[in-house]
């Protein structure tokens, strides 16, 4: 599938994977809607795109945690270009704390942003896709959507929930229209600020980069691989280093061995 001319709504576009995706998608001559909480950062990302692409880039700042506003946000996104072809659910927050040290309101915040926020804009956009009998949901989950490690209990729970919802949604939509697709993208470690912004047990930011994240994939390389998966309408794709991808398969085929290995695995 060629993406040229497609209307793509990208959340979490102000930094990291989302920022890299914005730059690579702009090269594809698409029409882009960029969303994140910070309007000034969205303006910076738009300004860094090629000048010829900028007329086809619109900004729609919002907060995934503000549930009451999300239906209006989805409606506003549709009106910006008249329709939406692809929604890339990339916005979210991460965690770096042991379960015993994590306040329950921190777990709720992670679930509210990473799961319910994503779920909400997905469902609010669904009537639009069904009416057009066409659409593509792309969801950036994580290797943690398929495995669980120390320091990620709430984050892994939210990402596992995304897999359960979107696998079910994909099966349901097959009966409605063969032209509505769901792609789950599972990143391993990518060199972004995700760990710097991750919440610790009391809800404050970690404010430092994990060594594993520091050694992760270049975001530009990740974005190119992810876009290829979107173009091919993959159901699910794993993009990361050999350790993260191997862990997914180890958990699937040798769960007892994985349980022993992950106890002492370096995850930060």
Beta carbons of 203 and 103 less than 8 angstroms apart: yes
Q: What is the reported pLDDT for 140? A: 98
Per-residue pLDDT, 129: 98
Beta strands in 66-210 (DSSP E): 86-89, 135-140, 180-187
pLDDT of residue 178: 87
On whether residue 105 sits in a domain, the answer given is yes
- The total of structural domains in the chain comes to 1
Give, for all 268 residues of the chain, the pLDDT tens digit.
799 999 999 999 999 999 999 999 999 999 999 999 999 999 999 999 999 999 999 999 999 999 999 999 999 999 999 999 999 999 999 999 999 999 999 999 999 999 999 999 999 999 999 999 999 999 999 999 999 999 999 999 999 999 999 999 999 999 888 899 999 999 999 999 999 999 999 999 999 999 999 999 999 999 999 999 999 999 999 999 999 999 999 999 999 999 999 999 888 8
- Within a domain: residue 31? yes
**Bridge partners, 9 (sequence order):** 33, 87
Q: What share of the chain is helix, strand, coil (3-state, %, to 5)?
A: 50, 15, 35
Within a domain: residue 2? no
The predicted structure's pLDDT at residue 254: 97
Is 1 within a domain? Answer: no
User: 132 is in which domain, residue-wise?
Assistant: 7-262
Q: Strand 7-10 vs strand 86-89: parallel, antiparallel, or unpaired? A: parallel
Enclosing H/E stretch for 236? strand 236-239
| CA max distance for the chain | 53
Is residue 255 one of the residues assigned to a domain? Answer: yes
Q: Which helix (H) or strand (E) holds 31?
A: strand 31-34
Task: Give how far Cα 80 sits from Cα of 83, 196, 211, 252, 258, Å.
Answer: 8, 33, 40, 42, 47
Does residue 79 form part of some domain?
yes
What six digits make up the tokens of 134?
């066409």
- The pLDDT tens digits for 36-47 are 999 999 999 999
CATH number for position 112: 3.40.50.720
Known catalytic membership, residue 124: no
pLDDT tens digits, one per residue of 161-202: 999 999 999 999 998 888 999 999 999 999 999 999 999 999
CB 182 within 8 A of CB 170: yes
Long-range contacts (CB closer than 8 Å, 24 or more residues apart) made by 172-175: none
102: which 2 tokens?
């994590």
Distances (CA, A) of 108 to 94, 101, 153, 193: 12, 14, 12, 22
Question: Is 135 among the domain residues?
Answer: yes
List the catalytic residue out of 23, 155, 238, 249.
Answer: 155
Q: Is residue 168 part of a domain?
A: yes
């Amino acid at each position: 599938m060629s993406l040229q001319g497609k209307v793509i709504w990208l959340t979490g576009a102000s930094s990291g994977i989302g920022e890299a995706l914005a730059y690579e998608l702009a090269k594809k001559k698409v029409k882009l809607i960029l969303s994140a909480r910070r309007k000034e950062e969205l303006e910076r990302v738009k300004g860094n795109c090629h000048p010829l692409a900028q007329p086809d880039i619109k900004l729609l700042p919002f907060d995934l945690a503000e549930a009451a506003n999300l239906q209006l946000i989805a409606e506003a996104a549709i009106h910006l270009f008249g329709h939406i072809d692809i929604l890339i659910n990339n916005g979210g927050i991460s965690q770096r704390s042991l379960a015993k040290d994590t306040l329950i309101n921190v777990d709720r915040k992670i679930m509210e942003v990473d799961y319910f926020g994503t779920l909400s804009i997905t469902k609010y956009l669904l009537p639009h896709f069904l009416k057009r009998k066409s659409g593509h949901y792309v969801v950036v989950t994580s290797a943690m959507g398929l495995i669980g490690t120390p320091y990620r209990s709430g984050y892994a729970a939210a990402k596992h929930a995304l897999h359960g919802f979107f696998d079910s949604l994909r099966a349901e939509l097959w009966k409605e229209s063969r032209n509505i697709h769901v792609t789950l993208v599972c990143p391993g470690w990518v060199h972004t600020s995700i760990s710097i912004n991750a919440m610790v047990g009391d809800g404050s930011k970690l404010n430092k980069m994990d060594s594993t994240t520091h050694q992760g994939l270049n975001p530009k390389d990740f974005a190119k691989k992810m876009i290829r998966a979107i173009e091919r309408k993959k159901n699910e794709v794993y993009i990361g280093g050999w350790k993260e991808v191997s862990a997914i398969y180890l958990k699937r085929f040798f769960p007892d061995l994985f349980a022993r290995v992950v106890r002492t695995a370096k995850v930060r």
